[in-house]
Amino acid sequence: MNSKTMTPMQRVLTTLSHNEPDRVPLFLLLTMHGAKELGMSIKEYFSKSEHVVEGQIRLQEKYNNDCYYSFFYAPIEIEAFGGEVIFSEDGPPNSGQPFILDIEKISKLEPPEINESKMLFRVLETTSKLKEKAGSDIPIIGVVVSPFSLPVMQMGFGKYLEIMHFRKDLFDRLMQVNETFCVNWANAQLEAGATAICYFDPVSSSTIITREQYLETGFKIARRTISRIKGPTATHFASGNCLPIADLLPQTGTAVAGISSKEELAQLKQAFRNKLTVLGNLNGIEMRRWTTEQTRSIVREAIETAAPGGGFILSDNHGEIPFQVPDEVLKNISETVLEYGRYPIKSHHGV
């Protein structure tokens, strides 16, 4: 317990060390809402680092958020590889047609240079500017897509599963390219001022592959990759399940697990207790139409289930809150955290 008000950084570091800070840290992982704040389209918003910096600063202040999120959109890495990104008026930019059409071309694929991509540079610029504002008070969370999950956008899920099962030579080569790129991209963000890296790895989730497959693939790749990232990492399954691999995750070197609303929060908290910090698990899709009462009850329930003892950051379950979630709901989440998230918190689950 700590009665003195902490900075977001102190709050987050305390919970990561499995101790209780002044209150539950809140990571509202907002990307597109910055465009709404600035009154511009999503495409225009992501066209300049100044916009994203301003957006993140306003959102952090508005919702007492405990981080800046320097994430633009997932297919930004595909852009770096020369792939296509399609912007939408009311949703996150999406990857276009996969750029690896002929799987045999994987043998000649090379990782793109970080400093040769205009878009990646824009993220680094945003990170540096946010760092100037944050100092050592507010953590900045950067993002990478794991080497194991990136191929879904590079070549399409179906083809990827086929090479994973039947073309080990191409699979290994693709992982080699992606690991190099992922490590360079993560370390560039850390050098620019990011405090930690969120390692998005939905393909490793137990929704997509079995535990046995994970042990053979995603697990080994995560261990190799995370050990080369020069800063703390949080592994996020972007709404995928992870309870069947909960015992393996700490061995990958990650400090945090981003969990799904489809699994029991109490069970996950128990599985990760004193090993990993739990990040989650508000359902971002349903959140769009939560009433004030619902919001308060769901947030309170999550806090009382997972916050006692620290090792918990309240967040959504996907790593990005949909554009359609109204400001009112976000405000209600934030206010409920201020009201019920102050330690000491009594658990009604006895965990």
Q: Six-digit token pair at 256?
A: 């945090």
Q: Is residue 324 a contact point for another protein (CB under 8 A)?
A: yes
* Nearby residues of 256 by Cβ (< 8 Å), 6 or more positions away: 16, 196, 232, 233, 234, 235, 276, 277, 278, 279, 313
- The residue among 88 and 251 lying less far from another protein, judged by its C-beta, is 88
Q: From the CB of 148, what's the least distance to another protein, in Å? A: 12
Q: Return d(Cα 287, Cα 270) in angstroms, integer.
A: 25
Q: Is residue 41 a contact point for another protein (CB under 8 A)?
A: no
- The residue among 24 and 282 lying less far from another protein, judged by its C-beta, is 282
Q: From the CB of 90, what's the least distance to another protein, in Å? A: 5
Which residue type does 327 have? D
Q: From the CB of 74, what's the least distance to another protein, in Å? A: 11
Residue 64 φ then ψ, to 5°: 50, 40
Q: Six-digit token pair at 139?
A: 């953590």
Q: Return d(Cα 117, Cα 278) in angstroms, integer.
A: 33
Binds another protein (CB under 8 A): choice among 7, 176, 213, 294:
213
Q: Is residue 343 a contact point for another protein (CB under 8 A)?
A: no
Q: Is 280 left (phi over 0), alpha (psi -120 to 50) or beta?
A: left
Q: Is residue 135 a contact point for another protein (CB under 8 A)?
A: no
The three-point CA angle 178-183-188 to 5° equals 125
Interacting stretch for another protein, rule CB under 8 A, among 11-19, 205-213, 225-233, 305-313? 205-213
Contact flags string 243-262 toward another protein, x per CB under 8 A: -x----------------xx
Q: Is residue 90 a contact point for another protein (CB under 8 A)?
A: yes
Q: Is residue 241 a contact point for another protein (CB under 8 A)?
A: yes
Interacting stretch for another protein, rule CB under 8 A, among 19-27, 55-63, 269-277, 285-293? 285-293
- CA dist 174 to 31, 85, 101, 110, 157, Å? 29, 21, 14, 9, 14
Q: Six-digit token pair at 322?
A: 């949909």
Q: Is residue 91 a contact point for another protein (CB under 8 A)?
A: yes
For another protein, the binding residues (CB under 8 A) are: 86, 88, 90-92, 94-98, 152, 156-158, 161-162, 164-165, 206-210, 213, 239, 241, 244, 261-262, 283-286, 288, 322-324
